Amino acid sequence: MTTQSEVRTMTTKTQIQTPVAVPQRAEHRKPYRVKLGGWWWALPALVLMLIVIYATTVAGGFFAFTNWSGLGPFDFVGLQNFVKIFQTPELIGSLWNTLLLAFGFLIFTNIFGLLFALALNRTLKSRYVLRTLLFMPVVVSPIAVSYIWKFIFDYNGPLNQAMTAVGLPKQNWLADPGLAIWCVLVVMVWQNIGFVMVIYLAGLATVPIEMEEAAALDGASTFRRFRYVVLPMIQPSVAIATTLTLIQGLRVFDQVVALTGGGPAGATQTLALEVYQQAFTYQQFGFGAALALILSLLILLFSLAQQYATRDRSLKEA
């Protein structure tokens, strides 16, 4: 005969063994129209980019194979524009001038920018003021900076007056074919040192000071600490700075127009200036488009080569 306590015990066991159904949460799925709405918000910017950048680039490439003057009808001339470019000595000279300015700008701007970044990185107390002063020329228009330097390079300008004061002869800085292109390079480098310095400062900020101190305790010299500790860690900054300066050097235009206008005797003529003159001064839009296409291909090829040369090899080895 079952007692009352045994009945209670059996009932409790049955309640424990019986699984309790846990209510499940209904999955909340975002409707697809939310994602589509994000694309609709970006659509005006995408359309504008397609028209302003890609459509105009394709149109320019199309007209590079024509003899269009900018107005009226045109005829297809095939590769005639490109053959004419490489058969014209003045245009070959413009190509060499462009390469000289581009690689000179790349080398000197990155060297001075990196040196200033190392000097103003941590220890100097007045580093924030000096960083501001070095970056100030970057925010000024290149045309304005070039006209200021044109006054400095003038035959009766401050530079020649200073040279006369110390007993040196005056120079025709912008009228001498051998000096004019170097004057243009000086202006380009001077204005953009601060920009490159900021890029390298951002890279140096990621270098742990403990690693440099450990290398110094191990007896590494300043150059060895830079070569084997700092430089590998700022490799992304080196890649960015060299790419931007190379592209900017290849398409140099403002400084040449303001300082020399391509003279004297074509000594500072560049491909970007030739594109402008052929298309808008001489009304040979098809020929100017061919020059622009060559310049674009040069920028693309050199940029790809530079990116390959400054790639992060440690990631590939890993």
Tens-digit pLDDT profile for residues 44-56: 888 999 998 889 8
Q: What pLDDT is recorded for position 277? A: 94
pLDDT along the chain (318 residues), means of 10: 50 49 54 58 87 88 91 90 93 95 96 95 87 94 96 95 95 94 97 96 92 87 90 92 94 95 93 94 92 92 87 55
Q: What pLDDT is recorded for position 5? A: 52
Q: What pLDDT is recorded for position 39? A: 72
- Tell me: the pLDDT tens digits for 231-288? 999 999 999 999 999 999 999 999 999 999 998 989 999 999 999 999 999 999 999 9
Predicted TM-score (pTM) of the model is 0.82
Say how far apart CA 314 and CA 309 lie, in whole Å: 13
